[in-house]
Structure 1
Amino acid sequence: MMLFWFGLAGLAVVAELMTGTFYLLMIAIGFMAGGLAAIVGLSHPLQVVLSAVIAATAVLLLRRSRFGRRRKLEAARDPGVNLDIGQRLRVEAWQADGHARVSYRGADWDVDLAPGQVAASGWFEIREVRGSRLIVAAVDPHKA
């Protein structure tokens, strides 16, 4: 019976490697606890209960840790969704209303300043994309 539990743990680890989620590792820990219970000689129902309790506890602990929390970032600002976030572009001149028009990736784009930014020519970093508008902030000259 212990081979069954350790086999399940191994399958959960392989599945975790294919999906990249830590939750399957926590389930694998529960399966290993079931295998250890089998080695100790506990009955099959106790092995199942122990495995389930350990797995559920591990999942809850992971959920409360910093590794289990999801970053709540809207898609317009998420570089994982929009690859333009973090890219740099040069703005030569700003209009009086705080807007500009620049060429970026072979097309003309409307550009707006992020809150608290000053309209001056120079290099800017894209912070957000709202439709066909790029929201930018000045690049720190020491990092450029």
Structure 2
Amino acid sequence: MMHSGLFWWIGAGVLIVLELMQGTFYLLMVALGFIAAALARLAGAGLPLQFGVAAVVALGAVIVLRKSRYGRKAKARAEAARNPDVNLDIGSTLTVPAWHDGRARTSYRGASWEVELAPGEPEDANLYEITALRGNCLVVVARKHAAGA
């Protein structure tokens, strides 16, 4: 099977199917390496050169992917603490009975939570809005009153 080059086409197909199930684009980049090796086989390259072409193309494609916006997932993870699509509590309001140096403990959704006041926010507001979650600590700001309220 290796002699006919069918290995590269089947391997690329399997990697593409696996990529469709995973959705990270990395297996697709390796599949591009397999396709390049299959094309090198069709051009008459020997087996060692086919493996070299597969490795170089796959590695190059992965590097290009890492530098693109699709390869940057770490930034999205870092922003998850402030993303209301990830944490549904962001934007919710709560009351804080007493502050102690910008920190407090309050009941929210039937549980006791640590609360931290965002820098520069007043401690005398009636309502606070959750802007971020840091572990089990809610970061809040004083809720702005709507105009005419």
TM range (shorter): 0.7 to 0.9
Cα separation, 2, equivalents of 1:141 and 1:41: 74
Q: Is the 8 A contact 2:96 2:105 kept in 1?
A: no
Q: Is the 8 A contact 1:125 1:137 kept in 2?
A: yes
Q: Are 1:128 and 2:133 an aligned pair?
A: yes
CA 1:96 to 1:83, structure 2 compared with 1: closer, same or farther past 3 Å? Answer: closer
Q: 2:40 aligns with which of 37, 42, 57?
A: 37
- Provide, for residues 34-85 of structure 1, a one-character-per-residue CA deviation record: whole Å limited to 9, x for no partner: 111122222222222111111111111112222223226298x376xx8465
Q: 2:49 aligns with which of 18, 37, 46?
A: 46
Cα separation, 2, equivalents of 1:14 and 1:84: 33
Q: 1:86 aligns with which of 84, 87, 90?
A: 90
Q: Are 1:115 and 2:119 an aligned pair?
A: yes
Cα separation, 2, equivalents of 1:43 and 1:140: 70
Cα separation, 2, equivalents of 1:5 and 1:21: 21
Runs of 5+ unmatched residues, structure 2: none
CA 1:34 to 1:139, structure 2 compared with 1: closer, same or farther past 3 Å? Answer: farther
Cα separation, 2, equivalents of 1:111 and 1:93: 11
Map residues 62-73 of structure 1 onto 2, 5 A cutoff. 62-69=65-72, 70-71=74-75, 73=78
Taking structure 1 as the reference length, the TM-score comes to: 0.74
How many pairs does the alignment contain?
Answer: 139
Taking structure 2 as the reference length, the TM-score comes to: 0.71
Cα separation, 2, equivalents of 1:25 and 1:104: 45
1:61 aligned partner, one-letter code: V
Residue in structure 1 matched with residue 15 of structure 2 by the alignment: 12
Runs of 5+ unmatched residues, structure 1: none
Cα separation, 2, equivalents of 1:85 and 1:45: 56
Structure 1 residue 32: Cα displacement: 0.7
Residue in structure 2 matched with residue 60 of structure 1 by the alignment: 63
1:107 aligned partner, one-letter code: A
Residue in structure 1 matched with residue 29 of structure 2 by the alignment: 26
2:109 aligned partner, one-letter code: R
